[in-house]
Structure formats: structure tokens, C-alpha cells
Amino acid sequence: MGPFVANGLRAVIGADGVARLEDFVYAVEDRVNRVRRQHEPPKAYWTVPSPLPAPSTQPASSTVVPEKPVLSPFRPVDPGPFDKRRAARGDGIWVPIVDPRRPDDDPRLYKTLLHPDPTRGWAEVFVVAVDLRRVDVHLVAGSQEPKFEDEENAPPYERPAKIPEEHHDTLLAAFNGGFMTEHGGYGMKLDGVVIVSPKPDVCSLVRYTDGSMQIATWKRLADREPEMLWYRQAPPCMVQDGKLHPGLVVGAMRRWGATLDGETVIRRSAVGLSADRRILYVSITNHTTARVLADGLRHAGAVDIAQMDVNWSYPKFVLYEPHPDDGRLVAIALAKGFEFSEDEYVRRRSRRDFFYITRKPD
């Protein structure tokens, strides 16, 4: 069901009615897929190069003392396939994402694909690993979402809803944000403006003024709010301190689809952090339950995970490259099949909030 159709129906039959209808539609689609695709093997989406040697940790011999510490090359450890019995070629191997405008630079992003669902070979978890030592992650409010929790008394706040032109030269990638305000009332703050107040018991992705990031339940972070550059909230943490949320262990819950059931097989997105909080993991999926998404992202290396959004149209991860004809910056999808436009986030204003990634100065 398309997002505009769903949003229109909510005004007629209410959010719960639309949720039941969406659950029904996605359940029918899944039953059809189980019949038509039951023998379909997992699919690869890109060529995986030969494994790279691990970067040397030995300092170069030199009598010259550098003015600032030299960062070691970014090379996340390959997690390998989630299950070798149902894996596509290259599953669990990190593939460098080369910046087409600076092809000789060390990669700041890597990608991999996993197939964690034991019963659906077509369930796909795409993961991007982001080197937080070398990039900045920015949050942008959409032109319409998230809405202010109290629109009548909302402070004046301009919503450009696209990536500032001054960041285009260093732009690497962008990905979707979180749920609409009416779907959970999850908090968001940026530019010193609280758009939606934080809820104490839900998962929160935050960036501090020193550039570091953290994912945790808000009540564990609240004391540091003055240090936060921005925050965006999500349903309860899928994984926290490496442990799955009990709701993902014992059965279905509605928490990870806002109104949709956590067992609904749907396109989803999530973010995660490594134990040292130096790697941000961003995931978009095809045909996954909440548990499958959490399993895949945890297998990739995340110890804290927040689901951001669901539905066929919203989850996306795009990279940027110059157009071959006129050099203008255009978006390209991480993988085929995800909805996007060439102008995504750079010229076309986004109705929904989103994140984007820029390279730090060398």
C-alpha cells in the first residue's frame, strides 16, 4: 500500500483501521511469496572483490612527528554469512564504497548483504558501515514531518528539507529518518529546537557536540541532553548492550512498526553502533520481520540498534555522484529496487526527516 493512499485512508478509517488493512495486505503478499519463491536462492546485488589484507597497525618508521595523529585505514571485520546454508555469494563480506569524486581516497563507507531469515531466501538485509572518525552525520527535518507536537504554539523554525549546497562538495550519502509524529510521537531535536519532546522509554539516536554518537533508551541519555547537537527517537531499542529486546525473543509486538505488527514482513530500516561507537551501521531491508532485521544488523557488528522506519517507499540509502552529462550531483541507490529520485535530498525537498553523511577534512 502506497504511503499517500495510506495517509489518505487514515483520515477516513483511522490509524488502527489502516494498520489492520496494511497487516492484511502484507500478509497476503508474504503468503504468495512463500508459494512462488519458496525455492528461490538468496540473491547477490554486487560483485565482491577478493578479500583485502588487514591494514597494518604498525606505525611507519620515520623521524618526523606528524602534526596530528594519522588515522588507520577503515576496514571493518567481515562478519561472514549469517548462515552458510542460505547465503548468496559475498554475503557478510565488506565491499568498499568508493567516492567517485575522490577515487584514490581511503573508503569511509563499506557495504554488505546478509540473508538472516531461515524460511525466506528473498529476505534481504543491506548494511552500510560508516567510519565515524572520518565523517559527520547530519539530521534534517522534513518539510512536513515530524510535525510539532503542539503546532499552535510551535516556535518559528525554517524547514529547508534538503541538504545545504555548501555541503554538496563533501556529501557522501543520505538515508531516511524516523516515523511520522502521529505514529508513536517519537522525539526529535535539532538546531536547538525541540520539534517533539523525548519519551523516556524509547530508543534514541543522538549526536553530541564533540561529534560522537550514541544509541540507547532515552532515560539513560537524558542527563547529557545539553551536550546533544541533535537527537531522533524510535521505537524501543531492538538491541541494547548486545542483548535483544525481550519482545523480539518471545513473539510479535507492534512496537517495531509503530502500528504494524513486529512480525509483519515488510521493508524496514535501522541504525546501529559498534561497541566502541566508532562505526555507525545503517540498514535497509526487503521482506523482513523486526527480528530478522535485528539479527542481521547485530551479526554485522552492531551492539545497539534502533529501527527508524518501515513501509515500501520510505526506507532508502542513497549515494551521490556527478551526472556524466552536466556534472550536477545526483543520487544513486545502494541497491536496485528501492524507491528514489536523482534529486533525492539535494534538490527535491523531502516531506520526511532524513540523515546525510559528509566527509570530514583530511
In tens, the pLDDT along 267-288 reads 999 999 999 999 999 999 999 9
Asked if the peptide bond before residue 66 counts as cis, ω within 30 degrees of 0, the response is no
Owner of C-alpha cell 524516523: 178
> How large a percentage of the chain has pLDDT more than 70?
85
Rounded to a whole number of angstroms, the distance between the first and last alpha carbons of the chain is: 45
Query: Does the pLDDT of residue 319 top 70, yes or no?
Result: yes
Determine contact, residues 236/201, Cβ cutoff 8 Å.
Answer: yes
What's this model's pTM, rounded to 2 decimal places?
0.89
CA distance 155 to 176: 25
Query: Does the pLDDT of residue 58 top 80, yes or no?
Result: no
Contacts 24+ apart (CB under 8 A), 215-224: 215/240, 215/271, 215/272, 215/273, 215/304, 215/305, 215/306, 216/240, 216/304, 218/187, 222/198
Handedness of CA 75, 233, 172, 46 (dihedral sign): positive
Q: Residue 179: what pLDDT?
A: 95
DSSP class of 32: H
pLDDT band of residue 115 (cuts 50, 70, 90) is very high
Q: Residue 256: what pLDDT?
A: 67
Query: Does the pLDDT of residue 348 top 50, yes or no?
Result: yes
Query: Does the pLDDT of residue 68 top 90, yes or no?
Result: no
Q: Residue 57: what pLDDT?
A: 47
| Mean pLDDT in residue range 325-350 | 95
| Mean pLDDT in residue range 332-349 | 95
Higher pLDDT, 58 or 93: 93
Cell numbers representing residue 293 in the block: 532485521
Query: Does the pLDDT of residue 62 top 90, yes or no?
Result: no
- How confident is the prediction for the chain on average, in pLDDT? 89
> How large a percentage of the chain has pLDDT more than 90?
75
Query: Does the pLDDT of residue 38 top 90, yes or no?
Result: no
Q: Residue 18: what pLDDT?
A: 53
Owner of C-alpha cell 540473491: 43
CA distance 113 to 288: 13
Query: Does the pLDDT of residue 63 top 60, yes or no?
Result: no
Q: What is the pLDDT of residues 297-316, one digit of tens each?
A: 999 999 999 999 998 889 99
Higher pLDDT, 45 or 28: 45
Q: Residue 203: what pLDDT?
A: 98
